[in-house]
Structure 1
Amino acid sequence: MKQTPLPVVSMMVLACSLLLGLAGGLWALDGTEGGDTATGALPSLQQGGASEESRGTPPLTKEQQILEMDIATSSLLELASWCRRLGLSEGGTREELQNRLRQYYGIPLSKGSDASGKEQISSSEKPKTPEKTSSPRTIVIESAEQSEFFTLDVVNEEYARLRGKVQITIKEGDTSYTLSAEELLYNKTRNQLSARGNVIYTKKKGEVIETFRGTALSLNLDSLSGAFLGGFSERAMEGKSNAYKFTGQVISRDAEGSTVLQDVDITTASVEEPYWSIHASKLWLLPGNDWAIAHAVLKVGELPLFYIPFLYLPGDEVVFHPVLGYRNREGSFVQTTTYLLGRPKASSSTENSITRLLGSSENEERRLEGVFLRATGERRKSGDEVSLAILFDMYANLGAYGGLELSIPKNGAWGKQDVSMGIGFSRTIYPLGSSLYSPYNPIDGSIDWNSAYFLNWMVPFRYRFKATGSLSLGTFSLSWTIPVYSDPYVDDDFLDRSEQMDWLSMIKEGASAGSSSSSSSNILGSYNLRIGGSGTIPTDVLSPLISSFTVNSLSSTLIFKTKSSTLYASSSSPWQSFFYPSQWTLASFSGNVRGTLFSNSVKKSPSSELISEDGKKANLLDSALSPWTEERSPQTIPGAEGPQKQADTSDSFTIPALSQTFEGSGGAQYLWNVEYSLDPTASWDLHYHYSKWKEVYEVNWSDISYLYSILGINGTIASNFSRSDNLFTMSFKIGGNANWQHYQYIDTSASDIDANSLLLSAYKASGYYLTAESTFTLRPLVQDEMWKNSQFQYTLKGKWLSTVFNNDVQDPRWDLLWGSWSKDYISSHSLSATLSALTSLGEQSLGLSMELPPRESLLSGNTRLQWGASSLSANTSISKPFEDPLFNPLTVSGTVVFAPRFQYKQDLTYTPEEKSLTSWISTLSWYDLSASLSYAYSKSYLFSGGKWTLASDEEALRPKAFQLSYGTSLNNLVFWKNRIQASLNISSSLSLDLQRYTYSSFTFSLGTTVKIHEFLDFSFTSKSQNRVIYRYIQSWPIWEQSVQVPGEQNMLVDLLNSFRFDSDTLRKSSGFKLQALSVKAVHYMGDWTATLTTDLEPYLDTSQLPYRYAFNTKVSFLVQWIPISEFKTQTYYDKDGFVFK
């Protein structure tokens, strides 16, 4: 065939990538912004509401006018007394009490006030702060022994004084404040609160709890600013049980949320005598979770460790997120991630304890101020937001990388969109030895800057691009994955990066801790560029002829693979491997069409549907008459003209004019339907001649090996005839499959392409066939509730028509073969009968089936009897029962349940040919104990010369194995007033080989955990095994032959010998061998924890001959400070030596 050059597809790939990635991203981004704008531009609802209210408010009666005048002129104390007399709540402001009384007397509320008495501010009067929405504040007096209300006429201020175990709660949004004191004075006019005597002020927001304690408190309820005298504050870490105590002579808090502590001590709140403390002259806790400290001294106990003159730690993030570090290969580096939109996701692995204690929560909203992202203190509304980040990294050895990361959440028809792209200017890094690298060639000192091929041009940089997304268009959905890489190593070189800098670890361990190399490699092997979709086409107009039309898949896929370079095989350059196009599936399609050609089944008429006189559906509830006729009054219909008729309230009940249709039973119905299903498939594949490409610059998109297409269709048409009561069912199905493969182009000039072989495989795969299947099922006892599952069934299935290729490539021809009455064409021909009875004990069944000619005759039978939870089943078959009968094995299985956790199970197999039982398995289970004895039809063994050999070729039913197992768990064992918790897990198994006795074994596992409250956690697990369990019972008279095994025959003595650490000989001769041992102890020492872990496991030592097993003992000891978990020290030991961290 003549080769016709195809157009270069690389430009098409790039165009699709940019169009789908950027257009989809911009469209979805535009939709997101539009949604925000629409939300922020909601029209005011107050203006229209006011006019409606003024028109609909009825005039006040004479009594209501007098009451309104009394309510408006009463003082707070008088209003409270008035409410108390009426049994109403007397708490709240003067306006709240007034509105409470108005509601009681049915007086409409004044304009601009709600039921609680708070002023409603119209949308035009509200301050324009779209990023912060005020939440209603509620003040509740929980308890007080005395209350007093008075007014100072001189300054015209109203006061309320509460005495004796006062406790009030203030709730605002998701934040709650609780204040308790001996005495509390509330200035209602200034909204100022003062408290004294054992003052406790608690703030709870989410999982963070702050507690202030002191002798006196002054608090402004509008701004929640105030001051404590001689108090301290407690703050718990979010998600942690630790609480920290801040003690100061004066603790003040302003309206902006800044807290200042003078002469402050910081320590843990859990113990009276702290193990550590920080004393400072002043501590600032600033808004946004910034904090600063002056003249601080860190003490452990009473011992001062170091002095801090001043320290300021911002709790906010820097917008470009710099990360510093060092790696052996890349050298020193700085990685920056600048978020123009969105913010990085929280990473618990890079967040230290200091930032968790005094830093901001990742669930708070942030706003950009300069180069900082300031925490607003408000909870994040949603984690799904548009994210746009610019990446810029520099490496001392490798070079530089710049990129862009865009993520757009699902918005309307657009699914989640992700675009990641970047270019890197890198140079070859040469290894100089163990952990030593240099960008300079060790031979001539030159620098090799890397380049790459983009389309057909060489560019002086390396690149990467990946776009993923989806789009929903009604019933269709489109998705794409478009990656493009310059070489297989670009991700491994430039995507081993971090966005969070762990400063504490860097100070402790050096710059190498800033960003360690990833343990997993990001070297790419192959990737696919795919654009695809799926969906359904509406077929309501054509239903039921076409009930559904589904496009399962419609896609185009370009496959890239990697190949090693011959020229750069030994080089460290990225050109040592390169990507090449292997196969391009230009288009691939698969679908399904189904429908009904004929059906006599009619949907049931809705008998409950009511028809009124005018032909419209009527609601029965609308015409129902109320039984409470005396309470009804004539209703005036708005907008009606002329006099209205009054509702008839007489006792007469008139049935409305209804037209109902009912469907009688009419006996059984016969149902007949003809249905079809078609599954078309098609694909066009283009294969490149990549075997001739040895280097990356030799890749040529015009080098095509062959282009071929596959067209296929699979279909069925089925006719089903049955009776509605399931008395019988008849079905006839015709199925077919057609497949056609064709090569549009083959490069015959290539020496490694065998055109005839390709054509031969395509011709053999082409062709079609037809099958037919008929099934008839009769249930003669369907009307009987006990025997309704009994049935007769006849099945015939076979190939009706097929084609076969004549194996001539030059003159291809397909011969037509018609089916015949032979087992080569008839795949199933059977008749079966099932007798089933539904009894109170369960379902009892007996079944017979027969394979009929031209299939090989086979008569099968099965039965199942059931009584409660117990059951018995059996099945067997006879081959060629009417010619040369061959009786196949009979299997019987029975289960007897004596109690919910006590049962016996027996499995038997009888082989008529052997005239003997060939399998016997008995199992007895009682709670956690299980015993099993099995027999098998096998040959016998003889122990001779220290090994087992076959004694004879004669097979018989012989004992095979005995197994005994036990396993139990005891959890939540509590002792000593719940101070000690324990658990125990035991698992053991004994397996006796009754043919080869020395293969018997015993395993035992033990696990226990003991927890002493706030003192010690201890866990122990072990697993041991004994492979010479036979030698303890070798003298028992149950064995057919005597096999002497040397060694200790007393099991208890041998068990004690396994613990004889004073005698290596006895300990090694013991049959009890330890497989694994683990001991872990955690000791709690206030603010510190000490963890000791010991693991023992055997390993095969191959360092010297002869090989031998030895124990690898791993010991780890860790001491860690709870307040700041990064302060720790660890010692580790194993067979390779000590490691200190």
Structure 2
Amino acid sequence: MVRPVVIATILFALSNLVLAGQLEAIDGPPRAETAPETSEQSDREREQISEPLSGAEEDSGEAPQERSPPVSPLLERTLLQDIETAEQGELLDWASTLGLSTRGSRRQIEDRILQHYQVRRSPAEAPRSEPAGSVLRIQRARGTRFFDVEQVDERTLRLSGGVLLTVEERGAFHSIEAEEILINTDQSLLNARGNVVYTVQREDGDERFRGDSVLFQIDSWEGVFIQGVTESLQEVDQEEITFFVQGERISRAPGDILVVEGGRITSSRADPPNWSLKADRIWIFAPGEWGLRHAVLHVGRVPLFYFPYFFLPGDRLFFHPVAGHRDREGAFIFTTTYFYGEREESDAPFSIMSLTEAPRDSQRERQGLFLRIPESPPEEETRPDWMLKVMADLYMRLGGYAGVAASMPDLGPLSRFDWRLGLGVSRSIYFENGRYSSYYVEDGEAQQYWNRGAFLGTTLPFRYESEVRLQGRVGTVRFNLEMMMLSDPEFRRDFHNRSEKIDWGAFLSPSADEEDSGGATVNSMNWNAELTWNPSVNHLRPRVRSFSLSPARARVAWRSKRDEGLPQEISPAAGTDKSPQERFFYPQSVTLPELGLTVEGELFRLREGASRKSSSPSDKDLQEDAQDQERRDRARSLRPPWEEEEEESPPHEEGAFRLPDTIGSMRGISDSAAGEISLTYRLNPTVRQDLFTDSASWETAEDVGLDWHYGTIQIGNQGRLVLNARARDRIATLTTTLSSDQRYQSLEIMGDMEESQRDRLQLNAYRGRSFTVTQASQIDLFPLRGYENLESSSLRYSLSSRIYDYGFSGLDSSGDPRYRGQWGQWEPSDITRHQTRAQLQWKRWSATQTLTATSDLPPRDRTYLGELRLERAFLAARFSGGYRERDDRWRADNFVQTYTASFPDQSLRLEQRFEHDPEGVNLVLSRSTLRLGPLQTQLTGRRTVGYDFDPSQGWVSDQTDDFHWTRLTVDLRGDHRLRWWHRRMDLTLNGRVTADIDLQRYTSSSLLIDYGATFSIHRFLDFRISARSRNDLLYQYVPSLADEVERPRRNLFSDLVDSLSLFDRDAREETAFKVDSLNISAIHDLEDWELEFGYSGRPELETVGGVSRYEWRSVVSIFFRWRPVPEIKRNIRIDDGTIDFID
């Protein structure tokens, strides 16, 4: 306890400083503070000296921030003065601008700013230290007064009128706002009254309290709030909800323990609250650790649940027991013990349980059986990312499991090293009469069957799993390995559906369907090992630019199949629920090795002007450049005006300002306009060996072995030479690629094999032997490169062909393979591409106009195609056409014209497309499109056969080819929004009408109407309705069309009225507008609850007794959710009279 005389001295000094308009610390230069005007002061009080309250401020302990570049000497000399003379608000803004933390004391903020600029305090300031106690500042008060209580010989300072008091101590920032504050200097007590708001800011978070009055012990900040309330903002289902913890008395005990007497927790702002959790006493011990005594959950005024005691520990056991029950496995208990690392954090099962949840990234240390958050940060672990855990599970019906799993990243050369081992013992589970059991009946007695595992034909009395995943790097070698081995396909399904945390929500809101969060059935596995080597070849450049061994692989493929020798007691006929012995794993194939080598490089490169001798800078030139750079560096730095440095200007030498001589291409600096020719290469040899087991003869798990059936070896060699050449200014470019691909495959028979299978495999091996050489060349000319508006115009010639082809051609009379080599011929089969293209690009009218002519040349089928594109402002036109040779005959392509006019905002767009047949000079296609705001329409006509209506046959083709208008589509959509009552009520209407009219067979026309509305009342109701109507009898509204097909006439308006007759079934059946779907939803906002009603319906065609008719199918759903605790919910679905409760 600080002596009363010290407290009195401090408060007298505070009073003097308030009167003077400043508040200073005794250990440093003055700092400007905002001070209230005082009404009463005594001369004796003005002579007092301010001293610290108590306790020294500590360093923030923050991690160093990102360092800025070194500062200039001027900034270094003035930075300390700027910091010391800055006000508190300016200092906070400065730190925030630099991205630094603004928490802690003023001294800590100053140190962060100095550390950011890499500036240290001068030795002269070293004796200056932080005050030995707290720094109390009166930020705002209308009046101050000291008075004595003579009866007890105590002095009290009274602050009144919107008081704001701040205190910095031990790395925390306290602020108290109240109408009146009394400070007892002798007892070191602080009493605040009237709309009290107390805030504590720490590095790990803020606390905020509100109440009528508060009494604090200043030195320890222990105190009591009367009618206090604290707030906590939590995110629940992506919605922020404020929880209130209020009580008649909120006391802050030593050790930052918060005790709430007569407490209540709620998120409802109503009075009285819609729901609340009331307790005689609430304890909040630490982050994530709190308890209740005699707690009652109220909904409105109705009590629902009573909790005599409830305690949620913040500390965790280093082993995690989980108990529960499942229908199939029975009762179970899971235990997970972490010897290294911690389990992954998950959300609290109930949102209200996260009110004081500990930070997810909080570090913990083991103390006994618990993982606790230490008072001081623990020492940083050498392997913070490592994890090692042991798992032991027991099932009443299934059996047991024991395993160990680890994750060890950054272990030597390994960047990743994850492994897992596990053993399981289990009984077969039978499903009969809707229940699970581990017993079967044999000879009138109940028996159990313990499952077995197998590996390569060996039967084991247990089931097992193993898995290894690693990645690493040694120098330029990268490697990774993935291996998994299971005793049976059902291992993960049985033993991986486990948890490390108790699901409290499952106890209070059980789900009808159990959620399967574990592994599924595994039917295949692969062991993969891969290595890549990319050594540095800088000393071989440019002849060798890259050299890599990629890939170097080994692979074992495991597959599963049904066991034909399954015992009778565990066969599917016995009612087993997926017995693990129904299927077994076997090795199907082994790939060892698979190697690939890639080498790339450049054989030569010639550049225009490269042979010229380039001049190199002399030592004198280099020295002068260094001096010039030094002078520029000094000019950029700030220099104080009182310390000017004089430098003598160096004498100008003769010829110093003479322009340098023109030189050719310098080493390392390429001239992009210069001509160039280069030859590059790429080699890619590969080899692969595959061994296949005799798996077809294995019928049971005991038959599995390493009996090799046959093997194959595949060798490949791929090569490529690329010649690139370009003339100066890229007037001409040439690219030629010469590629070769050689493949070889051999077959080795290792076991007994049928003749037909042997012949098939041997034939595939023969076909895998080939050698092919191809080439692809392309020449581009830019003859108009010197003309700015035409510089992109070009001429192109391209040729691709097969030069040589060697491959399997068949078997001779003795069954031996025959191969044939053939040089490429001037034939379409060998010439894969032979084409020319001329393109004229003209920059005109603020756009690029393009004319393109393309032709395919012999021996390919000849084609001559042309295209013209013109653009100006919002207008565009495109013309295309050509001729093609087919079967020695020339046929003309359709002449296509497309005209487009569009505004930049696309509010208006017109497009017209014509296609003409040049031979018959006939119009083949016409498509007109108009988009005007929400309206879009399209009219299509084409040359096709016509149709006539025959009452006895329907639509019949007239077999005449002519131009007909075929289809008209109109699409109109829109929405409108209305708001009134200060935007508390909102109505949105939306609709869409789509008409699809067949202009030839008009009975196929249809009309779709989509309409909907959304009506909202703020914090009360959200109502939505959407529907779709369909009308397939549009033609009956046109009398002549209805009479032509002998159908009754209809009136459009009467049909619309009948379609809206909700209470007249006959009218709805008579109208041509049929409802295709209907959806209605209403969400009622009950403040802390949400009630949703939903309805959806649609017609479905049903056939009963050979008679088909449409029946209306409807689904009604009711969904209730408690917003603060969304885990408590209920969903009811009514489908054709069937009621389902869905969680």
Cα drift, residue 958 of structure 1: 1.6
The DSSP-based 3-state class of the residue aligned with 1:621 is helix
Q: 1:202 to 1:996 in 2, by over 3 A?
A: farther
Alignment match, 1:66 = none
Q: 1:930 to 1:792 in 2, by over 3 A?
A: same
How many positions carry a matched residue from both structures?
Answer: 1030
Alignment match, 2:588 = 582
Contact map agreement 2:709 2:752 (CA 8 A) in 1 = no
Alignment match, 2:98 = none
Alignment match, 2:630 = 622
Q: How far, CA to CA, are the matches of 1:206 and 1:885 in structure 2?
A: 84
Q: 1:1059 to 1:83 in 2, by over 3 A?
A: closer
Matched to 2:760, the amino acid is: S
The DSSP-based 3-state class of the residue aligned with 1:423 is strand
1:424 is the counterpart of 2:446: no
Cα drift, residue 228 of structure 1: 1.5
Matched to 2:1096, the amino acid is: D
Q: CA RMSD in A?
A: 4.6
Matched to 2:392, the amino acid is: F
Q: How far, CA to CA, are the matches of 1:584 and 1:756 in structure 2?
A: 22
Matched to 1:807, the amino acid is: G
Q: How far, CA to CA, are the matches of 2:384 and 2:987 in structure 1?
A: 44
Deviation digits for residues 147-167 of structure 1 (CA, Å, limit 9, x no counterpart): 689999xx9999986532123
Q: How far, CA to CA, are the matches of 1:1090 and 1:377 in structure 2?
A: 45
Matched to 2:735, the amino acid is: S
Q: 1:373 to 1:960 in 2, by over 3 A?
A: farther
The DSSP-based 3-state class of the residue aligned with 2:960 is strand
Q: How far, CA to CA, are the matches of 1:945 and 1:519 in structure 2?
A: 63
Alignment match, 1:64 = none
The DSSP-based 3-state class of the residue aligned with 1:505 is helix
Contact map agreement 1:79 1:94 (CA 8 A) in 2 = no
Contact map agreement 1:209 1:236 (CA 8 A) in 2 = no
Matched to 2:32, the amino acid is: S
Contact map agreement 2:976 2:989 (CA 8 A) in 1 = yes
Q: How far, CA to CA, are the matches of 2:376 and 2:938 in structure 1?
A: 65
Equivalences for residues 659-1058 of structure 1 within 5 A: 663=663, 669-701=674-706, 703-743=707-747, 745-747=748-750, 749-751=752-754, 754-808=757-811, 811-880=816-885, 884-898=889-903, 900=905, 901-945=907-951, 948-968=954-974, 974-1033=979-1038, 1035=1040, 1042-1046=1044-1048, 1049-1058=1050-1059
Matched to 1:618, the amino acid is: A
Equivalences for residues 97-116 of structure 1 within 5 A: none
Q: How far, CA to CA, are the matches of 1:944 and 1:990 in structure 2?
A: 25
Deviation digits for residues 52-73 of structure 1 (CA, Å, limit 9, x no counterpart): xxxxxxxxxxxxxxxxxxxx9x
Contact map agreement 1:610 1:620 (CA 8 A) in 2 = no
Q: 1:656 to 1:841 in 2, by over 3 A?
A: closer
Contact map agreement 2:951 2:1045 (CA 8 A) in 1 = no
Which range moves more in the overlay, 282-291 or 592-601? Answer: 282-291
1:613 is the counterpart of 2:620: yes
Cα drift, residue 786 of structure 1: 0.7
Q: How far, CA to CA, are the matches of 1:653 and 1:140 in structure 2?
A: 65
Which range moves more in the overlay, 495-504 or 178-187? Answer: 178-187
- Percent of matched pairs sharing the same residue: 27
Equivalences for residues 379-418 of structure 1 within 5 A: 385-408=385-408, 414-418=414-418
Contact map agreement 1:1113 1:1135 (CA 8 A) in 2 = yes
Matched to 1:903, the amino acid is: R
Contact map agreement 2:276 2:298 (CA 8 A) in 1 = yes
Cα drift, residue 368 of structure 1: 3.5
Contact map agreement 1:887 1:912 (CA 8 A) in 2 = yes
Alignment match, 2:247 = 248
Q: How far, CA to CA, are the matches of 1:412 and 1:992 in structure 2?
A: 73
The DSSP-based 3-state class of the residue aligned with 1:506 is helix
Deviation digits for residues 745-785 of structure 1 (CA, Å, limit 9, x no counterpart): 21362227633322222222211111223322221110100
Deviation digits for residues 100-122 of structure 1 (CA, Å, limit 9, x no counterpart): 999669999xxx996889999xx
User: TM (normalized to structure 2)?
Assistant: 0.80
Contact map agreement 1:673 1:720 (CA 8 A) in 2 = yes
The DSSP-based 3-state class of the residue aligned with 2:997 is strand
Cα drift, residue 947 of structure 1: 5.8
The DSSP-based 3-state class of the residue aligned with 2:696 is helix
Q: How far, CA to CA, are the matches of 1:503 and 1:406 in structure 2?
A: 28
Deviation digits for residues 437-457 of structure 1 (CA, Å, limit 9, x no counterpart): 333346652211001113453
Contact map agreement 1:298 1:304 (CA 8 A) in 2 = yes
Contact map agreement 2:498 2:518 (CA 8 A) in 1 = no
Cα drift, residue 201 of structure 1: 2.0
Cα drift, residue 425 of structure 1: 0.4
Contact map agreement 1:1119 1:1129 (CA 8 A) in 2 = yes
Q: How far, CA to CA, are the matches of 1:144 and 1:892 in structure 2?
A: 83
Q: How far, CA to CA, are the matches of 1:627 and 1:205 in structure 2?
A: 42
Matched to 1:746, the amino acid is: I
Cα drift, residue 653 of structure 1: 7.3
Matched to 1:1066, the amino acid is: A
Equivalences for residues 219-618 of structure 1 within 5 A: 219=216, 224-238=221-235, 241-268=240-267, 270-305=269-304, 307-348=306-347, 351-357=349-355, 359-375=357-373, 385-408=385-408, 414-441=414-441, 444-509=445-510, 516-518=514-516, 522-534=520-532, 536-568=534-566, 570=572, 572=576, 573-601=579-607, 613=620, 615=622, 618=626
Q: Please, which of 182, 186, 195 is the counterpart of residue 198 of structure 1? A: 195
Equivalences for residues 4-23 of structure 1 within 5 A: none
Q: 1:464 to 1:883 in 2, by over 3 A?
A: closer
Alignment match, 1:1115 = 1116
Contact map agreement 2:162 2:179 (CA 8 A) in 1 = yes
User: TM (normalized to structure 1)?
Assistant: 0.80
Deviation digits for residues 618-645 of structure 1 (CA, Å, limit 9, x no counterpart): 374313475999978999xxxxxxxxxx
For structure 2, the residue ranges without an aligned partner over 5 or more in a row are 1-9, 36-49, 58-76, 86-104, 115-132, 666-670
1:183 is the counterpart of 2:191: no
Alignment match, 2:1139 = 1138
Cα drift, residue 530 of structure 1: 1.1
Cα drift, residue 698 of structure 1: 0.8
Deviation digits for residues 208-249 of structure 1 (CA, Å, limit 9, x no counterpart): 875422233234577553222343333343555433433333
Alignment match, 1:1064 = 1065
Cα drift, residue 596 of structure 1: 1.2
Alignment match, 1:213 = 210
Contact map agreement 1:208 1:236 (CA 8 A) in 2 = no
Q: How far, CA to CA, are the matches of 2:585 and 2:778 in structure 1?
A: 55
Contact map agreement 2:336 2:391 (CA 8 A) in 1 = yes
Q: How far, CA to CA, are the matches of 1:416 and 1:172 in structure 2?
A: 45
Q: How far, CA to CA, are the matches of 2:781 and 2:509 in structure 1?
A: 83
Q: 1:295 to 1:351 in 2, by over 3 A?
A: closer
Matched to 1:622, the amino acid is: E
Alignment match, 1:17 = none
Q: How far, CA to CA, are the matches of 2:802 and 2:995 in structure 1?
A: 55
Matched to 1:179, the amino acid is: I
The DSSP-based 3-state class of the residue aligned with 2:898 is strand
Cα drift, residue 837 of structure 1: 0.6
Cα drift, residue 611 of structure 1: 6.5
For structure 1, the residue ranges without an aligned partner over 5 or more in a row are 1-71, 121-135, 636-645
Deviation digits for residues 438-480 of structure 1 (CA, Å, limit 9, x no counterpart): 3334665221100111345321111122222322334443222
Q: How far, CA to CA, are the matches of 1:491 and 1:519 in structure 2?
A: 11
Cα drift, residue 180 of structure 1: 1.2
